[in-house]
Structure 1
């Protein structure tokens, strides 16, 4: 059993939860600790049950709440008499450059470095980091493997390279960026330098780019796609879904598309063993 929920998603903040029978992981904590705790409670999970926190990159909408979340976990575990109170935080060396200031005084042994090419092994969960093209120091996405199931998380990327496509292809489910509608962005209120950044190869995937990427990476085993990191200024959930669905239909591809939200969690989706 591999289950997951997008706890928060969008330009205002991001957090994702993944679990198996024996492992519980939080990926990013870009919103307040209270929002993460409330979202987890809606899917019947407690902060102190987490085994690790993984960071994709150091931008504020992905790390805002990390320090408070980690300290809250320690406090709750101490109150409940846990033998181990600290929780390991995993990030690339580039991300740690800025993340150290967010988790000040956090014990050094629990600051773990993620390296592309290495896999993170938990009891019944294998996690593979892969590099993304984004204007951060060393951003990564993650592929989660449990038994014969595969889940891919890929947001904050300007384009999907052939290397990334090879890594993430043939997954049972995707949490994939569908950040903006190109026309809305171009005529919108953003200053030109910001529009140029978003549209660049180190920016964000548009609805069209997300659909085209899915055509290349989906297989017959792919059942669910959660469209994530939508811009609240340059996109609408319905527009993202219609655009992506149209591209997939033209390529004779079928999948269940799901919305994500900046202020509430999705359902706890389950990938059942095949």
Structure 2
């Protein structure tokens, strides 16, 4: 399995995943032009190559480019019925026959990839995160949630790579210029994970084998990449010192895609 985080942040999110001839775009939260440019630059792929488009929820930073991607591909489109019903007008699908409704914890296959959506707590209509499994590797993409439940931790065991939310530093957020209602939303159970939240959740999730964690959805105003990485690493390693030998923390960006990375189940 190979993947690239094409964009990650409050102004746009998208992840590309491929295995064999199966090519998936998870979310389309940047413009169609930017998606095409990043697919070409990082993955040497075109929108027309896509097998499927998956959508986590209806917020603009996840569906901004959905209409353009749909026009430039023949891919099937998967999301929950709640997300589909709540799509903004500019992201409505012209061809409803391409839409496939999915349900939480009901796995389905796209080509050679098994996809498992699961419910998350966020201020959207029926939002989900996803786990992707092939015979060779497993990847989870988990962002836009206020907390990580025990059920979610169980579903996230034994992946080889995680794209995992580390949205904000709580102290930076509390003293920021954000209005109080926005701070309360972000800090709430239907908001976003802080660096500390991410670290403590990962303690219970990460395997003992080599694993890559891509810290995602970092706030431009209330976080810093160095701070997010340091906080998560310190929390995880203090609790599970052996992970210092196998854990690799990676960064994502709002402006550019990560390299197309191959993951495999190289166990220790």
Do Structure 1 and Structure 2 share a fold, with TM-score over 0.5? Answer: yes
The structural deviation recorded for 1:222 is: 4.3
Cα RMSD, aligned residues only: 1.2
Give the alignment partner of residue 188 of structure 1, picking from 176, 197, 202.
176
Give the alignment partner of residue 160 of structure 2, picking from 168, 172, 177.
172
Distance of aligned partners of 1:134 and 1:110 in 2 relative to their CA distance in 1, 3 Å threshold: same
The structural deviation recorded for 1:105 is: 5.5
The structural deviation recorded for 1:62 is: 0.3
Alignment match, 1:70: 70
Residues 199 and 235, structure 2, Cα contact 8 Å, conserved in 1? yes
The structural deviation recorded for 1:109 is: 1.3
Alignment match, 2:39: 40
Alignment match, 1:23: 22
The structural deviation recorded for 1:97 is: 1.2
Residues 171 and 221, structure 1, Cα contact 8 Å, conserved in 2? no
Matches within 5 A, 1:228-267: 228-251=216-239, 252=241, 253-254=243-244, 255-267=247-259
Moved more, 105-114 or 231-240: 105-114
The structural deviation recorded for 1:189 is: 0.5
What TM-score results when the alignment is normalised by the length of structure 1?
0.92
Helix, strand or coil: the match of 1:102?
helix
The structural deviation recorded for 1:211 is: 0.7
The structural deviation recorded for 1:95 is: 0.5
Alignment match, 2:57: 57
Q: What is the number of residues matched between the two proteins?
A: 261
The structural deviation recorded for 1:22 is: 1.9
Q: Structure 1 residue 88 and structure 2 residue 87: aligned?
A: no
The structural deviation recorded for 1:99 is: 2.1
Distance of aligned partners of 1:105 and 1:21 in 2 relative to their CA distance in 1, 3 Å threshold: closer
Helix, strand or coil: the match of 1:235?
coil
Can you list the C-alpha shifts for 1:175-225, whole angstroms capped at 9, x where unaligned?
A: 000000000000001011110110011100000010111111001124100
Q: Structure 1 residue 6 and structure 2 residue 2: aligned?
A: no
Distance of aligned partners of 1:169 and 1:99 in 2 relative to their CA distance in 1, 3 Å threshold: same
Unaligned runs of 5+ in 2: none
Aligned equivalents of 2:199, 2:169: Cα separation in 1: 12
Helix, strand or coil: the match of 2:171?
helix
Can you list the C-alpha shifts for 1:147-182, whole angstroms capped at 9, x where unaligned?
A: 042110000000000010000122111000000000
Helix, strand or coil: the match of 1:39?
helix
Q: Structure 1 residue 269 and structure 2 residue 268: aligned?
A: no
What TM-score results when the alignment is normalised by the length of structure 2?
0.94
Residues 152 and 168, structure 1, Cα contact 8 Å, conserved in 2? yes
Give the alignment partner of residue 158 of structure 1, picking from 114, 128, 146.
146
Alignment match, 1:76: none
The structural deviation recorded for 1:42 is: 1.2
Q: Which runs of 4+ in 1 moved over 6 A?
A: none
Alignment match, 1:111: 99
Aligned equivalents of 1:177, 1:53: Cα separation in 2: 21
Moved more, 10-19 or 103-112: 103-112
Aligned equivalents of 2:261, 2:83: Cα separation in 1: 29
Helix, strand or coil: the match of 1:176?
strand
